[in-house]
Structure 1
Amino acid sequence: MSARRWGPIVGIAILLGLGASADAQMRGHGGPVRALAVAAGGTLAISGGFDQAAILWGIETGTALTVLRFHDGAVNAVAALPDGRFATASEDGRIALWRAGQPEPERVFSEHAGPVSALALAPDGLALASSSWDGTVRIRALSGGPARVLAGHHGNVNAVAFLPDGRAVSAGYDATVRVWPLADDAGAVPVLFTLPTVLNALAVTQDGEIAAAGGDAVVRLLRPDGRVRAEIDVGPNPVIALAPSPDGTRIAAASAGGAVTVIDRAAGTVLTRLVGPGLPVWSVAWRPEGGELLTGGGDRLIRRWDARTGAPIGPLAMPRPADALAAYHGDRGAEVFRACVACHALRPEDGPRAGPSLAGIIGRRIATAPDYRYSDALKGMDIVWDARTIARLFEVGPARYTPGTRMPEQTITSAEDREALVRFLERATAAP
């Protein structure tokens, strides 16, 4: 019922209980894993989640080394930088540069006016490109200075990458792939390719071939001049993410249906499929040797896979998380609350998720739950949560009742359902 504010919190896995070394799966995010990147040495990975957190992992041990809570929104993109730093980008429109072991980002870029959707590192490692739902791509030197703005897409820009010669490539909801000229190429205009579907993902190989995919579940391999060399149907579900193997011979395509397809790029054929538990796979990354893939998805896990056989490393099936509402079977208020349980815990020991814990919510002043970062707008409000105020929140919607919140907009139109929710919260969040 509130929003997280900018501010860093660093946690070590041993203290937080986030490490897991036995099953080759990494568990720690409180929401779907939206982004993944592997550092050059292959032993560290960084992930970003819908829970607004970024986590630095030791891959072999499955241990969460550092938890970074800084962004005021889902962490949509991450990148490993060549000097050992990491970059994170969020729906809050900001990009942060981190150095391992430091509790605060070294630098924050805040030029975008909308959610940042993707990051890409220039071939020389000196610049970082970002795409955004504000309709632009921005390229900035990691050493500082103003960003170069690339505008022209009509609508959300969902992906960005670099060609080997340093030109940026972008793709978006307008179904176009755009190859942008270099900054010193005066008078040059972008090369534009229009494809038959909205585009979610891009990948560029070492020899300059472009892979693009999106809503129609077809991965298209494009020459830099726009010619389509191959089309690989990996359906039936839309492709969310693409990643080329380190040697460029394969491309991994992650889908909303829970599978990852590994493509033989030269032949334009499917080599194997990595089939998970059926939830969307939001992110995919290769380890440097090319024999292993990491995936992150709707089950909140980072999974390891043998990229050659498609077999999971460690058990595929995980025990289903305990149903926090099982004890309230048949309670109408509990059923209404199911829409909230992914973001809010009921018990104090469960801690914050994407939203704060609701333990002790009745009688608590807004923006005062422990261990949670709130916006200044919420901190200044004179609201105490009780039957009346909770019901009103869902009657008019969070945006109107608590302006400045990051809580998803939702209303409960039925007065009976609002009443049932309030009565449920009175029982379920009270101290034992």
Structure 2
Amino acid sequence: MPMRVTRILGLIAALLLALPAVAQMRGHGGPVRALAVTGDGRLAISGGFDQAAIVWGLETGAALSVLRFHDGAVNAVAALPDGRFASASEDGRIALWRLGQAEPDCVLAGHAGPVAGLAVSPDGTMLASAAWDGTARIWPLAGGPARTLEGHKGNVNAVAFLPDGRLVTAGADASVRIWTPQGETVLTATLPSALSALAVTTDGEIAAAGADATVRFLASDGQVRSEVELGPAPVIALAPAPDGTRIAAASAGGTVAMIERASGKILFTLVGPGLPVWSVAWRPDGSELVTGGGDRLVRRWNAATGEPIGPLAMPRPADALAAFHGERGAEVFRACVACHTLAPDDAPRAGPTLAGLFGRRIATVSGYRYSEALKGMDIVWTPETVARLFEVGPARFTPGTRMPEQTINSAEDRDALMRFLAKATERQPTGTPPTGPN
């Protein structure tokens, strides 16, 4: 490790020991999409929808470095064994950083779509990436060409390494795939719904979850050992405890469930970590969880009790759909709350606010960064165009979009959703909740 970096880390260590612990870290201008903790437990790196990555001192809550390079949300981060950090974005690029430097140490380019996940190999020599171009890639950290893994039918959302060096991927096609280090598919397991989260435990068991809010535990032969239903909101992120006994599951509903692997029981649920919870990571001694939420905060939690370390900075947000309880359209919309708000004064998420949706031209919400493909389209959002979007899927109706691929096959459900959106997205004065059912 370069002498300059060694000196910087020494100064950081002294600072961490001298200052009191804090519970929340504020610095991102948007939801905190990704989190990773260094092997010594002192530092964390977060990625946000504000296109920035931030390196934090966990004990002090100080932002030690703000890394700005990406042209899009930072969807994934990783702490590398050599002291560097990796950040990956919807711009399709992966940047490798050294602490104290304002520019990336190097940039890994090649993906043709947003990068959604990163993982470091057990021996620390490889970095794997999952992307919405339908591929995963294995990058040698010492340099050289990447190995491309093809086989998923749609977005690849998550990636992890098994202890023996094989790679696991999970995607929107509802499949979990295991690959050899050479990039050959060993097996494919198809689960009941689209997958967005993946984790591998120290003994090689695979946990996968996604749209149906169920965490499934798979053996390395692809057989499902057990299932844990969390419902009703989709699971966005999974993180295994360092000793492998528990799994933390974060959801779009604003909760983090602590699951005991052996029994399949939910031990407790974190209350108030920010709606939705986009990311979760463990400190290496297993004593704490770190979460990133839609409230733009990074938070610390006692992993044994589920209690926040220090007072919560904000109360848990109210359920935006409570006024529409019992409406079929509101239930259909629950799959959308991870990315879209209904009120103009709500904090931004992955997608633009839907306030004032009907009658609005595509790609015109002020302050939201749209893909270039959407800016050139001649579409006005109406009940007919939105229904068509979900009938054929975003990839066909709005090619080049960053919106996750999803369809609503039932015409009745599409109609119910349109009726709900007509009421819930009608522009209200700032601070006024949407009108409930008549």
Identity between Structure 1 and Structure 2 (%): 67
| Cα offset, 1:277, TM superposition | 5.5
Confirm or deny: 8 A CA contact 2:56 2:64 kept in the other structure.
yes
Q: What is the match of residue 254 of structure 1? A: 250
Opposite residue 269 of structure 2, the aligned amino acid is R
Partner of 1:111: 110
Counterparts of 1:24-423 in structure 2, within 5 Å, are 24-183=23-182, 189-276=185-272, 279-318=275-314, 339=344, 342=347, 397=363, 405=372
**Which amino acid counterpart does residue 308 of structure 2 have in structure 1?**
P
Give how far 1:210 is off. 0.2
Compared CA separation, residues 407 and 294, structure 1 to 2 (3 A): farther
3-state DSSP class of the match of 1:313? coil
Could you say what the CA RMSD is over the residues aligned between the two structures, in angstroms?
Answer: 3.2
Distance 1:310 1:396, change over 3 A: closer
Q: Quick one: distance in 2 between partners of 1:182 and 1:342? A: 41
| More divergent stretch after superposition (403-412 vs 255-264) | 403-412
In 1, Cα distance between the equivalents of 2:258 and 2:218? 17
* Cα shift at 1:190: 3.0
The alpha carbon displacement at 1:339 in A equals: 4.1
The ranges of structure 1 where at least 4 consecutive aligned residues each deviate by more than 2 angstroms after the TM superposition are 20-23, 317-321, 337-343, 394-399, 402-413
**Structure 1: runs of 5 or more not aligned:** 1-19, 322-336, 344-353, 356-393, 414-420, 422-432
Partners of 1:53 and 1:69 within 8 A in 2: yes
Secondary structure in structure 1 of the residue aligned to 2:284: coil
Aligned counterparts of 2:191 and 2:96: Cα–Cα separation in 1: 34
Q: Give CA-to-partner distance per residue, 1:110-150, whole Å, 9 cap, x none.
A: 10000000000001000000000000000010011110000
* TM-superposed deviation, 1:189: 3.6
1:135/1:157 contact within 8 Å kept: yes
- CA 1:65 to 1:225, structure 2 compared with 1: closer, same or farther past 3 Å? same
1:398/1:407 contact within 8 Å kept: no
Name structure 2 gaps, 5 residues minimum. Answer: 1-18, 318-341, 353-359, 383-426, 428-438
1:62 aligned partner, one-letter code: G
Change in Cα spacing, 1:21 to 1:54, as seen in structure 2 (3 Å) is farther
| Bigger relative contact order, structure 1 or 2 (CA pairs below 8 A, ≥6 apart) | 1
**In 2, are the aligned partners of 1:283 and 1:296 still within 8 Å (CA)?**
yes
TM-superposed deviation, 1:318: 2.3
| Cα distance in structure 2, aligned partners of 1:266 and 1:193 | 22
Aligned residue pairs, count: 332
CA distance in 1, matches of 2:69, 2:174: 32
Secondary structure, aligned partner of 1:312: coil
Closer/same/farther in 2, CA of residues 144 and 24 from structure 1, 3 Å limit: same
